[in-house]
Amino acid sequence: MKKSLILSPQQFTLLTLLFTCVITNTLNAQQLPPKVEQWSILHCGTLLAIPGVVPQEKVSIIVKDGRIVELRKGYVKLSSLKTEKDAKVTIIDLKRSFVLPGLIDCHTHITFEMSRQSRLNRVTETDADAAIKSVVYAKRTLDAGFTTIRNVGSGGDAAFALRDAINSGLVPGPRILVAGEAITATGGHGDGTLGFRDDLFDIPGAMQGVADGPDECRKAVRSQVKRGADVIKLTATGGVLSQTAAGTDQQFFDDELKAIMDTAHLLGRKVAAHAHGTDGINAALRAGVDSIEHGSFLDDESIRLFNQTGAFLVPTLLAGKTVVELAKIKGFFPPAIVAKANAVGPVIKDAFARAYKGGVNIAFGTDSGVSKHGQNAEEFLIMVDAGMSEMDAIVCATINAAELCGLANEIGTIEAGKAADIIALANDPLENISSLKNVWFVMRNGVIHKQP
Ligand SMILES: [Zn+2]
């Protein structure tokens, strides 16, 4: 009997898949050059490998294919490395530099930068405008020595696209953890339609982060995770920059807060809560939040809850300073925002100082986007001015921030096995913290982005 050559649909699909695989593999083999080992030896004059521990003099960092291999005393020579024959080795002279781990900012809005036009931009700019601007802001942030950021709230898909483009090496920028849209109550601080005419926007829902009641809160969290969120942000209280005179107190009920925490944690995401008012801070802490952003009106009970749960405070002192300065400019903000800026701005630094004295875990965050991107290091100056030691401020922006980001095994210190995120400065920041404003060398994942 003659065998039929007609294939079943399943056989046809299998054959097509097989054929595609063969073709793709052949093409890849033709297009990709053979992989060459990439080595770097960084000769460091002074090295703060582990913030919190005394820096060492004259140390070499050895990096291979983007990861730190080892640290060695003295200035290691090329000949002492065991590399493959055709390996590419770069020797980087940082003998007159102070070298430390790449900095981490746990609170940015990378697709946005505040201006007089911000309110108008909401109805004139598209997601594409935001995406293109974010490429510029990301480069500025990286050049300032921030090799990782946590982007806690931005509309649309721009921040996700930026994160993925940076990860694939298409554009330079920091590693980004993206939150997507902040989860907010209807008319709450994160409701992007607040203060606009009703017919300008569709009624926002789960994808825009707007949710009322535990079920909608679960759906809003799941929607952000569905679109690719690495972390969940929520607005537990009112905020300064929303177009409303609704104050800065609690906006979610306890059962809504719990639904957000439980859903995010179930899906393996940490939760960052924007919170100014005391009631909202404490309710979010009781619900099991991982970090409180701002914390302006925290009290003794908040400090007790922070210490009990181990949650982090992300102070954003630079945002407090920036809004107070801008509120002085006539017409920059509408009156409702001026009132809130003047209520929150002056107390945020004192709240930070009390939390620091109270032993609260603190992770560095600026709210950049409210201030200009690339000026993130200004936050260090305010932290030190409020009574924090220079070393502790650096710990907040490295070890503590890495822990809050869930990346403690990857970044935050210069140790064997971690990503080669390394920066260098001309002067010692432990003597003068403002030297962190002049970062002259930036390496991320072993790739040099800036050098003297
Ligand atoms: Zn913010």
Is the whole model's pTM more than 0.85, yes or no? yes
For residues 131 and 190, state if they share a domain.
yes
Q: Is 2 exposed, middle or buried (0-12, 13-18, 19+ CB in 10 A)?
A: exposed
Share of the chain above pLDDT 90, in %: 82
Q: Determine the distance separating the centroid of ligand 1 and the alpha carbon of 262, expressed in angstroms.
A: 22
Q: Determine the distance separating the centroid of ligand 1 and the alpha carbon of 141, expressed in angstroms.
A: 16
Mean pLDDT value across residues 420-437: 98
Q: Determine the distance separating the centroid of ligand 1 and the alpha carbon of 324, expressed in angstroms.
A: 15
For residues 298 and 363, state if they share a domain.
yes
CA 172 to chain centre: 15
pLDDT digits (tens, 9 = 90+) for 345-357: 889 999 999 999 9
Q: Determine the distance separating the centroid of ligand 1 and the alpha carbon of 235, expressed in angstroms.
A: 10
Torsion of CA 349, 209, 404, 386, to 10 degrees: 0
Report angle CA 288, 409, 100 to the nearest 5 degrees. Answer: 110
For residues 309 and 443, state if they share a domain.
no
Q: Determine the distance separating the centroid of ligand 1 and the alpha carbon of 109, expressed in angstroms.
A: 6
Q: Is 298 strand, coil or helix?
A: coil
For residues 337 and 433, state if they share a domain.
no
Report angle CA 67, 69, 72 to the nearest 5 degrees. Answer: 135
CB atoms closer than 10 angstroms to residue 212: 16
Residue 88 maps to which CATH number? 2.30.40.10
pLDDT digits (tens, 9 = 90+) for 357-366: 999 999 999 9
Q: Determine the distance separating the centroid of ligand 1 and the alpha carbon of 442, expressed in angstroms.
A: 25
Q: Is 23 exposed, middle or buried (0-12, 13-18, 19+ CB in 10 A)?
A: exposed
Residue 243 lies in a domain: yes
Q: Determine the distance separating the centroid of ligand 1 and the alpha carbon of 345, expressed in angstroms.
A: 14
For residues 143 and 220, state if they share a domain.
yes
Q: Determine the distance separating the centroid of ligand 1 and the alpha carbon of 319, expressed in angstroms.
A: 8
Residue 5 lies in a domain: no
Q: Determine the distance separating the centroid of ligand 1 and the alpha carbon of 123, expressed in angstroms.
A: 20
The one-letter amino acid at 257: L
How far apart, in whole angstroms, are the C-alpha atoms of residue 450 and residue 143? 7
Q: Is 158 strand, coil or helix?
A: helix
pLDDT digits (tens, 9 = 90+) for 111-122: 999 998 898 999
Query: 27-52: string of b/e by CB count within 10 Å (b at 16+)?
Result: eeeeeeeeeeebbbbbbbbbbbbbbe
Q: Determine the distance separating the centroid of ligand 1 and the alpha carbon of 154, expressed in angstroms.
A: 9
Residue 5 has pLDDT above 70, yes or no: no
> What is the number of structural domains in the chain?
2
Q: Is 415 exposed, middle or buried (0-12, 13-18, 19+ CB in 10 A)?
A: middle
How far apart, in whole angstroms, are the C-alpha atoms of residue 300 and residue 288? 18
pLDDT digits (tens, 9 = 90+) for 204-243: 999 999 999 999 999 999 999 999 999 999 999 998 888 7
Among the listed ranges 255-264, 312-321, 338-347, which one has the minimum average pLDDT value? 338-347
Report angle CA 76, 174, 410 to the nearest 5 degrees. Answer: 60
Strand partners, 183: 234
How far apart, in whole angstroms, are the C-alpha atoms of residue 374 and residue 318? 12
Q: Which residue has the tokens 């990860």?
A: 167
Residue 9 lies in a domain: no
Instruction: Choose between 244 and 254: higher pLDDT.
Output: 254
For residues 197 and 328, state if they share a domain.
yes
Q: Is 112 strand, coil or helix?
A: coil
Q: Determine the distance separating the centroid of ligand 1 and the alpha carbon of 337, expressed in angstroms.
A: 15
H-type alpha helices, 154-248: 158-167, 213-227
**Are the C-beta atoms of residues 435 and 427 closer than 8 Å to each other?**
yes
Q: Determine the distance separating the centroid of ligand 1 and the alpha carbon of 107, expressed in angstroms.
A: 6
Residue 335 maps to which CATH number? 3.20.20.140
For residues 145 and 163, state if they share a domain.
yes
What is the domain extent for residue 71? 38-102+415-450
How far apart, in whole angstroms, are the C-alpha atoms of residue 178 and residue 228? 8
Distances (CA, A) of 382 to 207, 321, 389: 36, 9, 11
Residue 11 lies in a domain: no
Q: Determine the distance separating the centroid of ligand 1 and the alpha carbon of 156, expressed in angstroms.
A: 16
For residues 175 and 192, state if they share a domain.
yes
For residues 192 and 246, state if they share a domain.
yes
Q: Determine the distance separating the centroid of ligand 1 and the alpha carbon of 432, expressed in angstroms.
A: 28
Phi, psi of 219 (to 5 degrees): -65, -40
Q: What order of strands is seen across the sheet that includes strand 175-178? A: 103-108, 146-151, 175-178
Q: Determine the distance separating the centroid of ligand 1 and the alpha carbon of 363, expressed in angstroms.
A: 14
Report angle CA 380, 336, 319 to the nearest 5 degrees. Answer: 5
Q: Is the dihedral of CA 213, 232, 282, 323 positive or negative?
A: negative
Q: Determine the distance separating the centroid of ligand 1 and the alpha carbon of 86, expressed in angstroms.
A: 47
What is the chain's mean pLDDT, rounded? 92
Q: Is 443 strand, coil or helix?
A: strand
Residue 203 has pLDDT above 50, yes or no: yes
CA 20 to chain centre: 39
For residues 57 and 149, state if they share a domain.
no
Residue 1 has pLDDT above 50, yes or no: no
Q: Determine the distance separating the centroid of ligand 1 and the alpha carbon of 341, expressed in angstroms.
A: 14
Q: Determine the distance separating the centroid of ligand 1 and the alpha carbon of 79, expressed in angstroms.
A: 49
Distance linking the first and last C-alpha atoms of the chain: 79
